[in-house]
Amino acid sequence: MNVIWSERALAEFADTARYVATEFGRQAATKMRARINEAVLSIARFPQIGKVSFSDEEIYIEFRELVVNLSSVIYVIHKEEIIIVSIWNNRQIRTKLYEELKNNQL
Protein backbone atom coordinates (compact mmCIF):
# COMPACT_ATOMS: atom_id res chain seq x y z
CA MET A 1 0.00 0.00 0.00
CA ASN A 2 1.00 3.59 -0.56
CA VAL A 3 2.15 5.39 2.61
CA ILE A 4 1.56 9.10 3.14
CA TRP A 5 3.09 10.98 6.08
CA SER A 6 1.15 13.88 7.56
CA GLU A 7 3.03 17.08 8.28
CA ARG A 8 2.44 16.45 11.97
CA ALA A 9 3.99 12.97 11.81
CA LEU A 10 7.03 14.23 9.89
CA ALA A 11 7.58 17.02 12.42
CA GLU A 12 7.23 14.63 15.37
CA PHE A 13 9.62 12.17 13.74
CA ALA A 14 12.22 14.91 13.22
CA ASP A 15 11.74 16.29 16.74
CA THR A 16 12.11 12.84 18.28
CA ALA A 17 15.27 12.14 16.27
CA ARG A 18 16.77 15.48 17.38
CA TYR A 19 15.93 14.78 21.00
CA VAL A 20 17.43 11.28 20.91
CA ALA A 21 20.57 12.58 19.17
CA THR A 22 21.01 15.32 21.79
CA GLU A 23 20.33 13.13 24.82
CA PHE A 24 21.75 9.77 23.70
CA GLY A 25 23.94 10.42 20.67
CA ARG A 26 23.71 10.24 16.91
CA GLN A 27 24.06 6.47 16.81
CA ALA A 28 21.00 6.05 19.04
CA ALA A 29 19.04 8.49 16.85
CA THR A 30 20.04 6.55 13.73
CA LYS A 31 18.82 3.30 15.32
CA MET A 32 15.56 4.93 16.39
CA ARG A 33 14.91 6.29 12.89
CA ALA A 34 15.68 2.89 11.36
CA ARG A 35 13.27 1.12 13.73
CA ILE A 36 10.45 3.53 12.96
CA ASN A 37 11.10 3.28 9.21
CA GLU A 38 11.07 -0.53 9.48
CA ALA A 39 7.75 -0.33 11.33
CA VAL A 40 6.28 1.84 8.58
CA LEU A 41 7.45 -0.68 5.96
CA SER A 42 5.75 -3.45 7.97
CA ILE A 43 2.56 -1.41 8.12
CA ALA A 44 2.70 -0.90 4.33
CA ARG A 45 2.98 -4.67 3.80
CA PHE A 46 0.54 -5.70 6.54
CA PRO A 47 -1.83 -2.79 7.23
CA GLN A 48 -3.75 -4.63 9.95
CA ILE A 49 -0.55 -5.27 11.97
CA GLY A 50 -1.24 -2.40 14.36
CA LYS A 51 -3.90 -2.62 17.04
CA VAL A 52 -6.90 -0.33 16.96
CA SER A 53 -6.07 2.36 19.49
CA PHE A 54 -8.88 4.82 18.92
CA SER A 55 -12.04 4.81 16.90
CA ASP A 56 -14.34 7.74 16.30
CA GLU A 57 -17.81 6.69 15.19
CA GLU A 58 -18.81 10.29 14.45
CA ILE A 59 -16.25 10.59 11.65
CA TYR A 60 -15.95 6.85 10.94
CA ILE A 61 -12.20 6.68 11.36
CA GLU A 62 -10.25 3.88 12.99
CA PHE A 63 -6.80 4.87 14.24
CA ARG A 64 -4.26 2.07 14.55
CA GLU A 65 -0.90 2.01 16.27
CA LEU A 66 2.28 0.00 16.12
CA VAL A 67 4.56 0.37 19.14
CA VAL A 68 8.25 0.96 18.44
CA ASN A 69 10.19 1.13 21.71
CA LEU A 70 9.00 4.30 23.47
CA SER A 71 7.05 5.63 20.49
CA SER A 72 4.00 4.56 18.56
CA VAL A 73 3.34 4.96 14.86
CA ILE A 74 -0.30 6.10 14.71
CA TYR A 75 -1.94 5.57 11.33
CA VAL A 76 -5.18 5.33 9.41
CA ILE A 77 -6.02 2.98 6.57
CA HIS A 78 -7.95 4.90 3.93
CA LYS A 79 -8.89 3.02 0.76
CA GLU A 80 -5.55 1.96 -0.76
CA GLU A 81 -3.44 4.34 1.34
CA ILE A 82 -1.96 4.36 4.78
CA ILE A 83 -1.73 7.77 6.39
CA ILE A 84 0.82 8.13 9.18
CA VAL A 85 -0.79 10.72 11.43
CA SER A 86 1.57 10.77 14.41
CA ILE A 87 4.81 9.45 15.85
CA TRP A 88 3.65 9.55 19.45
CA ASN A 89 5.93 9.45 22.48
CA ASN A 90 4.30 6.85 24.72
CA ARG A 91 5.39 8.70 27.85
CA GLN A 92 2.97 11.52 26.98
CA ILE A 93 -0.65 11.60 28.07
CA ARG A 94 -2.61 9.57 25.54
CA THR A 95 -5.90 11.45 26.02
CA LYS A 96 -4.25 14.57 24.56
CA LEU A 97 -3.54 12.71 21.33
CA TYR A 98 -7.07 11.29 21.15
CA GLU A 99 -8.61 14.73 21.63
CA GLU A 100 -6.42 16.21 18.88
CA LEU A 101 -7.26 13.35 16.52
CA LYS A 102 -10.96 13.62 17.29
CA ASN A 103 -10.88 17.36 16.61
CA ASN A 104 -9.01 16.71 13.34
CA GLN A 105 -6.00 18.69 14.42
CA LEU A 106 -3.68 16.48 12.42
Closest CA to 74 of 46, 40, 32, 33: 40
Those residues with Cβ within 8 angstroms of residue 2's Cβ, 6 or more apart along the chain or in another chain = 44, 80, 81, 82
What is the CATH superfamily name and number for domain 2-102? RelE-like (3.30.2310.20)
* Lowest model confidence (mean pLDDT) among 14-23, 34-43, 47-56: 47-56
**Confidence label for 81 from pLDDT (cuts 50, 70 and 90):** very high
Ordered by start, the domain boundaries in the chain are 2-102
Q: What is the pTM of this model?
A: 0.87
Could you tell me which residues are beta bridge partners of residue 51?
65
Statement: residue 106 has pLDDT above 70:
no
pLDDT digits (tens, 9 = 90+) for 47-77: 999 999 877 666 678 889 999 988 999 999 9
Closest CA to 65 of 78, 44, 48: 48
**Confidence label for 105 from pLDDT (cuts 50, 70 and 90):** very low
Return the amino acid letter for 97: L
